[in-house]
Structure 1
């Protein structure tokens, strides 16, 4: 089941607030930036950097993922480990709201998202 329009608007608002508080200064965004995207039931937070051997091209590196589980009414939070697989984020693997997802990523208690 897809997210409702209301839920999508809530995600967009929370994502906008997150970016307004956490994006790097404009003068370095060509070298490092962050963003988020919504795919189906999941929100991805990613870094954007130039490709090292082709600086005019950029690539996105996913650093956090939150998937909404409608049956339980929770967002499950994951981080990308060096094996390039998603792992449940401990100490807080699930939360009730998208705002809490962005808060957990911001706090990054164990340095999993932003190292």
Structure 2
């Protein structure tokens, strides 16, 4: 089941604040930027870059994801490894809110999200 309107707005507000804090300066954004998307019960954060051999093509590389589990009232935190599969993020496998998820991504304790 997808988020209701109130939940979606709360998530979007949290994501806008996070993006304002973590996005690179405007002059760098054509070469490197970050974005997010809401899909069903998940929030995904991704890197946006031009393709190395054809700058006209823009590529998105997701690196962080949180999936809401309504029955348990918590968010599961994932990171994408080099095998291109989502794996649970061990320092904080679950969090109680979207703000906690964003704090975990921002802290990046094991350097899995931002390197």
User: Where on the TM-score scale, by shorter chain, does this alignment land: which range?
Assistant: over 0.9
TM-score in terms of structure 2 length: 0.98
Superposed, which structure 2 residues align to 1:65-76 within 5 Å? Answer: 65-76=65-76
Q: Which ranges of structure 2 fall in alignment gaps of 5 or more residues?
A: none
Q: Secondary structure at the match of 2:27?
A: helix
Q: Which ranges of structure 1 fall in alignment gaps of 5 or more residues?
A: none
> Which residue number in structure 1 is paired with residue 48 of structure 2?
48
Deviations 1:47-101 (A, max 9, x none): 0000011101101000001000000000000000111100000110110110111
Number of corresponding residues: 115
Separation in 2, partners of 1:20, 1:35: 11
Could you list the runs of 4 or more consecutive aligned residues of structure 1 that deviate by over 2 angstroms after TM superposition?
Answer: none
**Aligned-pair Cα RMSD in Å:** 0.6
> Which residue number in structure 2 is paired with residue 16 of structure 1?
16
